[in-house]
């Protein structure tokens, strides 16, 4: 059985193409021997033998990808400089749209690769950082306060920490039904946003449609839905890490976990930044 999470579904270990040990996460066995044959299993304990995915390797890889996002964002932020003219604004939008499009392509490649590529994951993080930096510059200029970026970053990590605490404290179980509901909701939301974007570009929905500042209450509602979906995706990411460590997945799968966490955290940051900007603009 394959995972319904598009970030993890192409993993050969995840979908069980090469071995039955790594089928659906709920069916994973625990390899304490480090041999990868599943000959010893007991409880949800992480294997300590080298070459296996551990919490430490996931944290290490995630720190690298998030660090590259920050690096790309900082480079874009300082290259754009002050947006005090139409030319500067055009440059900011070029960085933003270029980073978004290239990042989307790299995200799709990483999501559907059977064997994860650490190099592509790092390139994605750097390019996505350029998009994040440019978009953050545009938003902070619009509200007239660069401090909103720090607030959004802080709120993102608080949300991630609270989600992790709730996941562990309430022992949230990510069942196949949970995955299906989240993924259906996520794709439905993405479909609506894509349609809204297309209609806005053709002038059917002026000023952004569902994201329009002319209707801040609707924009806040849409942003709230996006943040809730992001939190649910984060729970699925945590579940993948926990089950992957327990099952003794190869260490390279730490990069897949880091990629999934980075995608979700960047999305959460962007939605929180947008929501703060709407509230600031409405106030």
Mind listing the pLDDT tens digit for each residue in 213-263? 778 888 899 999 999 999 999 999 999 999 999 999 999 999 999 999 999
Q: In a 10 Å sphere around its CB, with 0-12 CB exposed, 13-18 middle and 19+ buried, how is residue 56 labelled?
A: exposed
In this structure, are residues 77 and 129 in contact, taking their beta carbons and an 8 Å threshold? no
β-bridge mates for residue 250, sequence order: 52
- The pLDDT of residue 167 is above 60: yes
In this structure, are residues 236 and 245 in contact, taking their beta carbons and an 8 Å threshold? no
Which is higher by pLDDT, 108 or 211? Answer: 108
Give the residue from 205, 83, 207, 191 showing the smallest Cα distance to 133. 83
Percent of the chain with pLDDT over 90: 65
In whole angstroms, what is the distance from residue 204 CA to residue 173 CA? 42
Task: Note whether residue 165 is domain-resident.
Answer: yes
pLDDT of residue 43: 44
Task: Note whether residue 197 is domain-resident.
Answer: yes
Give the residue from 8, 11, 46 showing the smallest Cα distance to 248. 46
Number of structural domains the chain divides into:
1
pTM for this structure? 0.81
Give the residue from 244, 258, 254 showing the smallest Cα distance to 67. 258
Task: Note whether residue 34 is domain-resident.
Answer: no
In this structure, are residues 16 and 23 in contact, taking their beta carbons and an 8 Å threshold? yes
- The pLDDT of residue 8 is above 90: no
Task: Note whether residue 19 is domain-resident.
Answer: no
Task: Note whether residue 251 is domain-resident.
Answer: yes
- The pLDDT of residue 19 is above 70: no
Domain that holds residue 168: 55-282
154: confidence class by pLDDT, cuts 50, 70, 90:
very high
Which is higher by pLDDT, 9 or 76? Answer: 76
- The pLDDT of residue 20 is above 50: no
Q: What average pLDDT does range 110-126 have in this prediction? A: 94
Which has the minimum average pLDDT: 30-39, 70-79, 144-153, 230-239? 30-39
- The pLDDT of residue 47 is above 50: no
Mean of all residue pLDDT scores within the chain = 84
Task: Note whether residue 3 is domain-resident.
Answer: no
Residue 230 backbone phi and psi in degrees, to 5 = -60, -40
Give the residue from 264, 267, 275 showing the smallest Cα distance to 132. 267
- The pLDDT of residue 49 is above 70: no
């Amino acid at each position: 059985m394959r995972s319904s999470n598009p970030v993890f579904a192409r993993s050969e270990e995840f979908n069980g193409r090469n071995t039955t040990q790594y089928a659906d996460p709920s069916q994973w066995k625990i390899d304490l021997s480090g041999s990868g044959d599943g000959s010893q299993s007991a409880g949800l304990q992480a294997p300590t033998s080298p070459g296996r995915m551990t919490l430490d390797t996931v944290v290490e890889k995630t720190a690298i990808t998030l660090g590259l996002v920050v690096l790309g964002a900082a480079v874009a932020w300082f290259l754009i400089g002050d947006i005090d003219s139409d030319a500067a604004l055009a440059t900011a939008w070029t960085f933003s749209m270029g980073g978004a499009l290239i990042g989307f392509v790299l995200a799709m490649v990483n999501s559907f690769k059977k064997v994860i590529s650490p190099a592509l994951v790092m390139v994605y993080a750097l390019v996505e950082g350029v998009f994040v930096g440019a978009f953050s510059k545009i938003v902070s200029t619009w509200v007239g306060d660069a401090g909103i970026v720090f607030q959004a970053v802080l709120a993102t990590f608080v949300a991630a920490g609270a989600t992790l605490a709730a996941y562990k404290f309430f022992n949230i179980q990510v069942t196949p039904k949970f995955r299906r509901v989240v993924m259906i909701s996520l794709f439905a939301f993405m479909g609506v946003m894509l349609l809204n974007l297309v209609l806005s570009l053709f002038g059917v929905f002026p000023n952004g449609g569902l994201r329009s500042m002319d209707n801040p209450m609707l924009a806040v509602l849409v942003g709230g839905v996006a943040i809730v979906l992001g939190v649910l995706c984060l729970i699925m990411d945590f579940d993948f890490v926990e089950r992957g460590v327990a099952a003794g997945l190869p260490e390279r799968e730490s990069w897949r976990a880091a990629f999934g966490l980075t995608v979700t955290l960047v999305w959460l940051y962007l939605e929180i930044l947008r929501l703060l900007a709407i509230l600031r603009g409405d106030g």
